[in-house]
């Protein structure tokens, strides 16, 4: 191999490590890859910037806007109200999958899961069911639906764009539908008959929403009337008496770790951990006050409610501290406590840098709740009532989305143009606000797409693609195109779990096309295998954003996804080996 090919291998390995470690944001990793390829001279500046003008990048941005219009207009509310009437957990699981899978073919699956997640949690609470029994099937159904159409997921659009660059005809909007529907039906049957027995079975009949999320960390200030004055934390026996565990004592700027013998004084702040009800009981009985809440003057004329907010995947507040989130000045809200799965926080609340999946217990003005529900940075896990929306706007949103799908499906307009026209129409009809569309677009995904696409160019230019193809054909031997198709599918599935679905598509489409050409068969079936393998990531909670969302809210372990997801991937792989040659035959190249 040439030095450019070895350099490209090094960049890919480094990128895979960074993607898998999650030490850096995915868009930053993609930009580092882009910069490395340009500096090494593997791609030209023009080629490096070509990803940002790619049809897939533009279409994904427009589809984000369309999904936002459906969500903000309240078009899904009649369905959510219908689902709220269900009382049996197994029926709720089935109903959610049957509702989300078709919607996922046209609406951003992250938005779908964010919309139905609070509903699922409330029904689980009412029926005394663990959310772990419901949330993972819901996330999987969103992925199954997304693969049913070309516009259902960004990786499908990306595969189509890259296929056209390799000389193939564009895929139709509904070209994936036949195979996608079969996989979705089989997947739902598997989850209902087999997967449900592999899911965690813990049930909490008290407060699933809070108990499943875990214990909170908060700050309590010692007042002059506190019964703790003059005693030490050891003497107070907080864990035995109240079920609350002290982590740290703050006295002015001084921090005292494990302050067992330190005498408690007025003005001290205790950093404590426990269930919120026990913390509140301890606060009242010990004569303490909530330190975060006491920093602000409360307006007694406004009703304030307590809500749980989860930091959403791709949230703009990821990595920021609480005072940088805008909760106070945008919603007149005060964060009282934080929970982080798998970690014991020991910092002051104001010093904690927020991460995806963190759950905030927030006291907020009731009048600001409607705006808070629409904030893309958070997922509201518990709330009192839904925001009132105008039915007319919901009909506008549905009609515009239908026009985009029909117009692009019948080839009246190219998909990017149809999506842009639809997003413009939604803005003009008020389906979302003027600023909402910019806040609603997941810019990390847009930057990722634009910056990672030149990696495919580098793989081709450096000769790495041909080297990998020869190695792959050496493994496959003379077993024919079906064996090569299986290799492409499994390799894409593995890379997707390590890197995410979009980078794996960029890496694999060119290789898949080259494998087909080396075997002198139509490359279309191989590109389809890449698209389906990349869009159905079930084995880890980090392979797909919807998995990440339910991982935190459902209280899952990493291995839970492997137990349920790996058999499902193998089922999909076996079905794909039968259906792909059936729908896209291995025609010899002319």
pLDDT at 583 over 60: yes
Q: What is the pLDDT of residues 66-115, one digit of tens each?
A: 888 887 777 877 887 787 778 777 888 899 899 999 999 988 887 788 77
Q: What is the pLDDT of residue 351?
A: 76
Residue 145 has pLDDT above 90, yes or no: yes
Sign (positive or negative) of CA dihedral 28, 29, 31, 35:
positive
329 vs 485: which has the higher pLDDT: 485
How high is the pLDDT of residue 385? Answer: 41
pLDDT surpasses 60 at 179: yes
pLDDT tens per residue, range 245-278: 777 777 776 766 555 567 788 888 887 878 777 8
Across-strand partners of 307? 362
pLDDT for 187 equals 96
pTM, entire model: 0.73
- For residue 135, how many other CB atoms are within 10 A of its CB? 30
End-to-end CA distance of the chain: 30
pLDDT tops 60 at residue 167? yes
User: What percentage of the chain reaches a pLDDT higher than 70?
Assistant: 88
- pLDDT averaged over the chain? 82
Residues 6+ apart with CB under 8 A from 453: 50, 51, 54, 56, 57, 158, 162, 506
Query: In 3D, which of 340, 330, 387, 388 has the Cα closest to residue 361?
Result: 340
Is-contact 329 389, C-beta < 8 A? no
Residue 211 has pLDDT above 50, yes or no: no
Tell me the sheet residues that pair with 334: 363
User: What digits encode the pLDDT tens for the residues 413-466?
Assistant: 888 899 899 989 988 888 876 666 776 677 888 888 888 889 888 888 888 888
pLDDT at 346: 64
Reported as type and span, the H/E element at residue 378 is: strand 378-382
Q: Quote the CA–CA distance of 552 and 464 in Å, as a whole number.
A: 39
Tell the residue number behind the tokens 């426990």, with chain if given: 274
Q: What tens digit of pLDDT does each residue of 527-545 get?
A: 999 999 999 889 888 777 7
Residue 389 confidence (pLDDT): 52
Burial of 504 (0-12, 13-18, 19+ CB in 10 A): buried
CB distance 548 to 488 below 8 Å: no
Beta bridge partners of 353: 321
Give pLDDT, residue 149: 93
Dihedrals φ, ψ of 114, to 5°? Answer: -65, -35
Write the pLDDT tens digit of every residue in 195-208.
888 888 654 433 33
pLDDT over threshold 90, residue 137: yes
Residue 360, C-beta contacts closer than 8 angstroms, at least 6 positions apart? 308, 309, 310, 311, 322, 335, 337, 338, 378
Enumerate the β-bridge partners of residue 360: 309, 338
Can you say whether the dihedral through the CA atoms of 120, 125, 128, 132 is positive or negative? positive
Q: Which two tokens stand for residue 535?
A: 């869009």
């Amino acid at each position: 191999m040439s030095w450019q090919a070895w350099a490209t291998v090094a960049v890919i390995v480094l990128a895979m490590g960074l993607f898998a470690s999650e030490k850096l944001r995915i868009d930053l990793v993609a930009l580092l890859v882009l910069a490395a390829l340009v500096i090494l001279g593997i791609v030209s500046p023009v080629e490096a910037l070509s990803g940002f003008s790619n049809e897939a990048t533009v279409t994904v941005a427009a589809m984000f806007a369309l999904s936002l219009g459906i969500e903000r207009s309240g078009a899904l509310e009649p369905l959510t109200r219908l689902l709220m009437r269900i009382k049996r957990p197994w029926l709720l699981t089935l109903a959610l999958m049957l509702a989300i899978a078709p919607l996922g073919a046209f609406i951003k699956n992250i938005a779908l899961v964010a919309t139905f997640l609070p509903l699922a949690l409330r029904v689980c609470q009412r029926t005394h069911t663990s959310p772990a029994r419901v949330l993972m099937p819901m996330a999987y159904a969103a992925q199954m639906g997304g693969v049913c159409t070309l516009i259902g997921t960004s990786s499908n659009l990306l595969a189509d764009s890259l296929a056209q660059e390799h000389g193939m005809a564009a895929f139709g909007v509904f070209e994936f539908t036949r195979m996608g529907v079969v996989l979705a039906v089989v997947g739902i049957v598997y989850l209902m008959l087999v997967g449900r027995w592999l899911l965690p079975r813990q049930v909490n009949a008290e407060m699933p929403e809070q108990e499943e999320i875990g214990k909170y960390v908060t700050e309590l200030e010692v007042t002059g009337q506190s019964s703790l004055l003059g005693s030490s934390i050891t003497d107070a026996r907080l864990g035995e008496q109240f079920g609350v565990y002290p982590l740290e004592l703050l006295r002015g700027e001084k921090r005292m770790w494990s302050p067992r013998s330190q005498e408690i004084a007025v003005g001290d702040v205790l950093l404590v951990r426990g269930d919120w009800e026990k913390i509140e009981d301890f606060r009242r009985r010990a004569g303490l006050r909530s330190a975060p809440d006491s920093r602000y003057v409360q307006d007694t004329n406004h009703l304030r409610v307590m809500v749980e907010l989860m930091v959403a995947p791709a949230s703009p507040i990821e990595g920021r501290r609480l005072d940088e989130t805008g909760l106070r000045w945008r919603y007149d809200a005060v964060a009282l406590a934080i929970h982080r799965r798998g970690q014991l926080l020991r910092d002051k609340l104001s010093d904690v840098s927020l991460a995806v999946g963190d759950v905030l217990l927030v006291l907020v003005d009731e009048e600001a709740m409607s705006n808070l529900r629409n904030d893309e940075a958070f997922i509201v896990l518990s709330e009192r009532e839904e925001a009132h929306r105008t039915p007319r706007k919901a009909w506008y949103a549905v009609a515009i989305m239908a026009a985009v799908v029909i117009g692009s499906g019948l080839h009246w307009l190219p998909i990017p143009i149809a999506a842009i026209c639809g997003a413009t129409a939604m803005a003009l009809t008020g389906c979302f606000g003027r600023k909402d569309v910019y806040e609603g677009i997941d810019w990390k995904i847009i930057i990722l797409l634009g910056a990672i696409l030149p990696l495919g160019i580098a793989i081709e230019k450096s000769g790495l693609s041909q080297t990998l193809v020869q190695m792959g054909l050496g493994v496959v031997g003379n077993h024919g195109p079906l064996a090569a198709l299986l290799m492409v599918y499994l390799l894409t599935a593995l890379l997707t779990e390590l890197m995410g679905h979009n980078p794996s598509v960029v890496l694999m489409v060119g290789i898949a096309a080259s494998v087909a050409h080396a075997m002198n068969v139509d490359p279309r079936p191989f590109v389809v295998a890449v698209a389906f393998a990349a869009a159905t990531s079930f084995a880890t909670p980090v392979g797909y954003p919807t998995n990440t969302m339910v991982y935190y809210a459902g209280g899952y372990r990493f291995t839970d996804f492997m137990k349920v997801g790996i058999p499902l991937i193998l089922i999909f792989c076996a079905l794909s080996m039968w259906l792909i040659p059936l729908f896209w035959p291995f025609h010899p190249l002319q």
